[in-house]
Structure 1
Amino acid sequence: MIESYQKLWPQRAAAESISTQEELAKYILIELNDELTHPRVRKSKEQKLALALARIEGSDLSESEKTGLTALYKKLESHKAGGC
């Protein structure tokens, strides 16, 4: 999934530095929480998930990469929402 994420975000230096599944999960959670945006203009977690899923679906990734990343995003969102 690391390589798929890096293909999805080719211009992100942080994405290129990911080397473990734990780091990948961390970066996806940062994205879903919109932590890199000023608090007054942050989008909701639901909006961020929808944007991420739309980006995945519209990407040039293979269908298996799209399925895997989509499942990972949804899994992390559901764990985060459940307080895990």
Structure 2
Amino acid sequence: MIRSYQKLWPQRSAVKTIMTHDELEEHILIELNDELTHPRVRKNKKQKLELALLRITESELLESEKKELVELYKKIALKKDK
């Protein structure tokens, strides 16, 4: 799944350093929390999840890769909301 995520974000240098599943989940959480954006223009987690899912479904990843990433994003979004 790490390789799929790296293919999804080829221009992000930090993504290239991901080695473990925990690191992958941390990067996804940072993305969902929009932590790399200035606080005044951040989107909420629901908006970020919708954008991420759209990016995944429109990507050139294999269908199996898309499915795994979608499930992981949803799992992380739900887990961190509790």
**TM-score greater than 0.5 by the shorter chain:** yes
2:75 is matched with 75
Structural mapping, 1:1-84, within 5 Å: 1-82=1-82
Q: CA deviation at 1:16?
A: 0.5
User: Which amino acid letter does the alignment assign opposite residue 33 of structure 2?
Assistant: N
- The runs of 4+ residues in structure 1 deviating greater than 6 Å are none
In 2, Cα distance between equivalents of 1:7 and 1:67:
14
Spell out, residue by residue over 1:7-65, the C-alpha distance to the aligned partner (whole angstroms, 9 max, x if none): 00000001100000000000000000000001000001000000000000000000000
Which stretches in structure 1 are left out of the alignment for 5+ residues?
Answer: none
CA distance in 2, matches of 1:68, 1:60: 14
**Identical positions, percent:** 65
Give 1:64's aligned amino acid.
S
Q: TM-score, normalised by structure 2?
A: 0.99
Aligned residues: 82
- Provide the alpha-carbon RMSD of the alignment: 0.3
TM-score (norm 1): 0.97
Letter in 1 for 2:29: L
Q: Which runs of 5+ in 2 are unaligned?
A: none
